[in-house]
Amino acid sequence: MIVILDSDTDETSTEYAGTLAALNALEGIQLQTHVIQGKQKKLTEIYLLGDTQKIDQEKIENLACVERVLRVSEAYRILGRHQDERRVSGFVYNDVHFSQDTYHLFAGLCAVDTPEHVEMMMRSLAQQGQVCTRMGAYKPRTNPYSFQGHGKTCLPYVFELAGKHGIQVIAMEVTHESHIDEITECLERTGNPTGVMLQIGTRNTQNFELLKAVGRQQRFPVLFKRGYGVSLNESLNAAEYLASEGNSMVVFCFRGMKNDAGAPHRNLVDFGQVPVVKRLTRMPVCVDPSHSVGSRDAAPDGILDIVHSAAQGLVAGANMVLVDFHPNPPEALVDGPQALELTELSKFIDDMAACHDFYLQRKSIWAD
């Protein structure tokens, strides 16, 4: 059961204290409070966990500061939509607003290699007015002898260069909970010049202990990759682990499914399910065409398959694109063959913006 409070409820008021006391008095029920900072207003939701069948809904609705009460189905309790279209969705992080109505591009390095390449990437993004990027420091690799990422040693220059170029959010995968501390410490040490969206990679989709650790912290939002070999339902339940621990600032990312049917692409592109996740949950949805397609092959129209796939995701309503770029792909230490080049950045930005506009046009065609 979810108790939705009036927006901008003052948590120091006596009315709020009275409501909280009444809820705390419910026998066998645990409370979990979620504060969602939307663009305009702050929304507080209190989750009643336990056997809520016997609770008198009307009684709760009549408590002070309560706007309404929602009985939720079992699935995706916090992240789910539960047929309530009025619930605020999305979040603001470091002045960037993420929701099922926004669009952001996260173009950047699959793996950080040198400060020079980070600088070139970020300078190009800044010149194009971009405030988000991707930078891999901790890389999960199939082969233990492959480059594993520079880890915490590259964080100081990545964060400082981000600050220098006005980058506000960096998507960065973490593969162990200690990485959250390393990122936090380095941000503090460098004066918080930028922000980080913690990425859960497809190989860790069901690493429940990592999910719990990432969910327990509420400083960083999370970019959650769909598991490449499990059902959509299993991936959505895994994302719910983050929220159940307290962090509902989650973006759900499609990155293709491991399946021979996708060949010659690296994975089977699954962006047709973008609207499904938007319908079942309140999460903003991202597509990663680089790890889905995995090569620079192009169609006879001269447009790369990666670009076509990203376009398909955006035209279907995706809210974010995560894409690999590299200033010199042959020198890239990870995933060079799928990297776009900096000379392609401005065309890519224009194409994606056009696709997002086209989605908005499509939406208005079907509006009434």
Taking a C-beta distance cutoff of 8 angstroms, is the pair 165, 126 a contact? yes
Closest to ligand PEP by CB, 255 or 265:
255
Least separation, in Å, of the C-beta of 301 and ligand PEP? 27
Least separation, in Å, of the C-beta of 288 and Mn ion? 9
Report CA Rg, the chain.
Answer: 21
Residue whose C-beta lies closest to ligand PEP: 201
Closest to ligand PEP by CB, 66 or 132:
132
- Selection from ligand PEP, Mn ion, none that 201 binds (CB < 5 to 8 A by kind) is ligand PEP
Exposed, middle or buried by CB within 10 Å (0-12, 13-18, 19+), for 30?
exposed
The set of long-range contacts for 298-304, using a CB threshold of 8 Å and a minimum separation of 24, is 304/340
How far is residue 346 CA from its own chain's centroid?
Answer: 24
> What one-letter code names the amino acid at 300?
P
Per-residue mark of binding to Mn ion, 91-110 (x: CB under 5 A): -------------------x
Taking a C-beta distance cutoff of 8 angstroms, is the pair 147, 141 a contact? yes
Least separation, in Å, of the C-beta of 355 and Mn ion? 23
Closest to ligand PEP by CB, 325 or 359:
325
Degrees to nearest 5, angle at CA 24 with 23 and 28: 100
- Selection from ligand PEP, Mn ion, none that 227 binds (CB < 5 to 8 A by kind) is none
Which residues bind to ligand PEP, rule: CB under 6 A?
110, 136, 173, 201-203, 225, 255, 288, 291
How far is residue 113 CA from its own chain's centroid?
Answer: 24
306 binds Mn ion (CB under 5 A): no
Exposed, middle or buried by CB within 10 Å (0-12, 13-18, 19+), for 41?
exposed
Least separation, in Å, of the C-beta of 175 and Mn ion? 13
CA-nearest of 305, 336, 339 to 325 is 339
Least separation, in Å, of the C-beta of 309 and ligand PEP? 14
- Selection from ligand PEP, Mn ion, none that 117 binds (CB < 5 to 8 A by kind) is none
Least separation, in Å, of the C-beta of 197 and Mn ion? 16
Closest to Mn ion by CB, 255 or 278:
255
Compute the distance between CA of residue 37 and CA of residue 258 in angstroms, rounded to an integer. 36
Per-residue mark of binding to Mn ion, 326-365 (x: CB under 5 A): ---------x------------------------------
- Selection from ligand PEP, Mn ion, none that 202 binds (CB < 5 to 8 A by kind) is ligand PEP
- Alpha helix positions (H), the chain: 14-24, 57-61, 115-127, 155-164, 178-189, 208-216, 232-244, 274-280, 289-293, 305-315, 345-365
Closest to ligand PEP by CB, 82 or 117:
117
Compute the distance between CA of residue 79 and CA of residue 236 in angstroms, rounded to an integer. 9
Least separation, in Å, of the C-beta of 304 and Mn ion? 16
- Selection from ligand PEP, Mn ion, none that 265 binds (CB < 5 to 8 A by kind) is none
Compute the distance between CA of residue 239 and CA of residue 224 in angstroms, rounded to an integer. 7
Closest to ligand PEP by CB, 136 or 221:
136
Rounded alpha-carbon distances, angstroms, from residue 122 to 147, 186, 192, 239, 338: 22, 19, 17, 30, 19
Closest to ligand PEP by CB, 88 or 334:
334
Closest to ligand PEP by CB, 173 or 305:
173
Q: Which residues bind Mn ion (CB under 5 A)?
A: 110, 335
